A and B are shown apart, each in its own frame.
Chain A
């Protein structure tokens, strides 16, 4: 017998492939965008790739697209739950010994695998791209290893908060809540950018923090908080799994 993790891997192969291929796609899109903007008279690869060094415009664009891909991935993985939301299937699964735990365990494993693949693929792509820039310009770009590392654990933490809600109220409502929260955040950012004069400074501050993180130049306190994140996220993920196990059958009652 292959088990529930196998079932989840087969069912959610699209998400796993997304985790694997999104980072190279992000880099490819950024390079394409840069090429469209820059190709013309006097184009040189050295100048073009220098745009990916820390102070280059393309570097910022790349991080922005990477963040969009990251949040996109978060939205997509809500679909991990939607595939099994059938009352008959779920009740049958609950009747099997350890069925509830196995069902939820498979989902948590596959979600973690998606984010882990995003991280691995991100580090690999970033390093490869860094190598190309190094070969052409002779300089090393800021590498995103630390940022991707942070993103992995932030993702785990956020998931550990919203998965129990998805399990209890169903992925349909959960997805709406997630999309709504993104729209609200977008509106909040838009309004802040229009009415708060210090908005640009705030953005610069965040950018500066990211650069210092990538350079390994964070202050003592910030570094401590960053290093606290992995154990906290792992613990939260485990606790979230336990809570989801308890809530699952209540959620099943709402299925059709």
Chain B
């Protein structure tokens, strides 16, 4: 079997595993509990272990695929690579925070939700927490990054090319979230074309986010900066909303058009596309130097 067909086989095994390992528990949970109860509500914590396990499905799938296809772990991008790459780690934290702040400005400009009344100390606390709280939570997003950016994207690059990896990888990543999107994750349930438009938007969102995360992985040869950026995007940006609105759920009650506009700052990540396309380094299924 040549390299290309071996990689295609690996991609298929990986996708089957990562989708089934995440979708089965999600579908069971969605059928047994209300989504907003187990995924985002006050009772979320007792289900956190399940979310950690299912969120780590891509990492488990990567490990199992490598084991089943006897691929080994030579190019697993698990090294920290801090030396000379510290700036990328800093960027992984600061850029998603900047995107979150832009979103806050948009919320205030559109007068969405009940305005938050905060003291200077509270504002500083929230800002600090938005930057630092997601760091330990990066172990959760590491599961995804190790699978998507650490395995799928390089494999897609080696069977096709980089644009294919970015587009197909992003769409697959977006589709992977489908059991959550159909229950109202990110976009709610009250919008035209529900739930298909939501799934489509999630795919687009993931393609754009994937550009930045893939660029970080490329530049450092490590999956940790992308894990941190992913964690800050998920947790830090949500925390920043408290700077402008009184309650966490205020944003969930805004019209769909406003929700779409709130995702606009994410398009900033498109700026990384030219850099990503510029040169083919480190990845492409090759062992990082």
A127 lies within 8 A of chain B by Cβ: yes
| Chain A hits for B122, CB < 8 A | 220, 223-224
What is the size category of the interface that chain A forms with chain B? 20 to 34
Provide the residues of chain A in CB contact with B133, threshold 8 Å: 149, 230
Chain B residues within an 8 Å CB radius of A145: 45
* CA–CA, A143 and B79, complex, Å: 32
B42 in complex: contacting residue of A128, A140, A224, A234, CB < 8 Å: A140
Interface centre among A5, A131, A224, A230 (most CB of B within 10 A): A224
In contact, A221 and B121 (Cβ under 8 angstroms)? yes
Q: Does chain A have a CB within 8 A of B48? A: yes
Interface flag for B128 (CB, 8 Å): yes
CB-based contact A127/B125 at 8 Å: no
The reply on B46 being an interface residue by CB < 8 A is: yes
Cβ contact within 8 Å between A224 and B125: yes
Interface residues of A in 122-151 (CB under 8 A from B): 123-125, 127-128, 130-131, 133-135, 140, 143, 145, 149
Q: Is B84 engaged at the interface, CB distance under 8 Å to the other chain?
A: no
Q: Is B43 positioned at the interface, with any CB of A under 8 Å from its CB?
A: yes
Contact A220 B125, beta carbon cutoff 8 Å: yes
Known: A127-B46, A130-B45, A149-B136. A5 touches B121 (CB 8 A): no
| Proximity string of chain A (99-142) to chain B, C-beta cutoff 8 Å, 1 when within and 0 when not | 00000000001000000100110011101101101110000100
* Residue contact A128 to B49, C-beta cutoff 8 Å: yes
Closest beta carbon of chain B to A225's beta carbon, Å: 9
Q: Does A86 contact B (CB under 8 A)?
A: no
A231 at the interface (CB under 8 A from B): yes
Q: How far is the CA of A143 from the CA of B119 in the complex (A)?
A: 27
Q: Which of A116, A130, A133, A228 makes the CB contact (< 8 A) with B136?
A: A116
Please give, as numbers and ranges, the residues of chain A lying within 8 Å of B121 by CB-CB distance. 220-221, 224
Docked Cα-Cα span, A135 to B47, in Å, equals 11
Tell me the minimal C-beta distance from A251 to chain B in angstroms: 23
Residues on the A chain within 8 Å of B119, using CB? 220
Q: Which residue of A lies closest to B132 (CB)?
A: A230
Residue pair B136, A227 in contact (C-beta under 8 Å): no
Main secondary structure of the interface of B (DSSP, over half): helix
Cα separation A134 to B41 with both chains bound (whole Å): 14
Chain B interface size range: 20 to 34
B131 is an interface residue with CB less than 8 A from chain A: yes
User: B128, A227: Cβ atoms under 8 Å?
Assistant: yes
In this assembly, does B269 line the interface, its C-beta being within 8 Å of a C-beta of chain A? no
Q: Is A73 part of the binding interface, using a Cβ–Cβ cutoff of 8 Å?
A: no
B67 to chain A, nearest CB (A): 20
**Least CB distance, A187 to chain B, in whole angstroms:** 34
In the complex, chain B residues whose CB is within 8 Å of the CB of A125: 49
Q: A140-B42, A220-B119, A231-B131 are in contact. Are A120 and B139 (CB under 8 A)?
A: yes
What is the bound-complex CA distance between A127 and B122, given in angstroms?
Answer: 28
State the CA gap A116–B228 with chains docked (Å).
Answer: 14
B180 proximal to A (CB < 8 A): no
Verify A124–B49 contact, CB threshold 8 A.
yes
Per a CB cutoff under 8 Å, which of A3, A140, A227, A228 touches B46?
A: A140
Nearest B residue to A152 via CB reads B136
Contact A131 B136 (CB under 8 A): no
B132 and A109 contacting across the interface, CB-CB below 8 Å = no
- Which chain A positions have C-beta within 8 A of B131? 231
Contact B47 A227, beta carbon cutoff 8 Å: no
Smallest Cβ distance from B139 to chain A, in angstroms? 5
Q: Tell me whether B125 and A131 are in contact (CB under 8 A).
A: no
B20 within 8 Å of A (CB atoms): no
Does B80 lie at the interface of the complex (its beta carbon under 8 Å from any beta carbon of A)?
Answer: yes
Nearest Cβ on chain A to B273's Cβ, whole angstroms: 31
Chain A residues near B (Cβ < 8 Å): 3, 5, 109, 116, 119-120, 123-125, 127-128, 130-131, 133-135, 140, 143, 145, 149, 152, 220-221, 223-224, 227-228, 230-231, 234
Closest 5 CB pairs of A and B: A230-B132, A127-B48, A131-B46, A227-B128, A134-B46
8 CB < 8 A contacts A-B? A5-B79, A116-B136, A119-B136, A131-B46, A140-B45, A143-B45, A149-B133, A223-B125
